Structure 1
Amino acid sequence: MRVQVLYDTEGNLIALSGTAVEEGQPGHRLIATDGHEVAEVEVPAGYVDSTLPDIFNQLRVEIHAGQPTLVARKPG
């Protein structure tokens, strides 16, 4: 499952959309403002059956090999 994420420079999710938008297709997109980024990312396999609020609360963004990736939040 792919989702759009809006995140800050520390990888904290600001907004999440379950609607992946194909290029050239109508739809909505999250818009980044100063200090934020938007990306379309794959939800990790262990969270595919989770609700969007659970994904928002349990995951964060990390950059791996130059690509944003959703990962579990570290406890603490």
Structure 2
Amino acid sequence: MRVQVLYDTEGNLIALSGTAVEEGQPAHQLLATDVGQEVAEVEVPPGYAGSTLPDIFNQLRVEIQAGQPTLVARKPG
């Protein structure tokens, strides 16, 4: 499952959107409006593929790996 994420310089998710668009439905795009925000389309890690969007938002963060944004589990604390 792929999702679109809006995140800050520390990898914290600001917004999250599913990317599946049904035929005939308008597509939508998250926009970075503040300095330090980025938008990316990323794959949800396999262990979270069955999770709801709110669960993904609350349990994951963005980390840059090999120059690419990737969703990873939040660090405890």
TM-score with structure 1 length normalisation? Answer: 0.90
Seq. identity, %:
88
Moved over 6 A (4+): none
CA RMSD of aligned residues (A): 1.2
1:36 and 2:32 matched: no
Q: Which runs of 5+ in 2 are unaligned?
A: none
2:73 aligned with 1:72, yes or no?
yes
Q: TM-score, normalised by structure 2?
A: 0.89
| 1:11-52, Cα deviation, whole Å (9 max, x unpaired) | 00000001257xxxx511000122100000000000000000
What are the ranges of 5 or more consecutive residues in structure 1 without an aligned counterpart? Answer: none
| Number of aligned residues | 72
Preserved contact between residue 13 and residue 61 of structure 1 (Cα < 8 Å): yes
Q: Which amino acid aligns with 2:19?
A: T
Distance 1:12 1:20 in 2: 23
- Range 58-67 or range 26-35, more displaced: 26-35
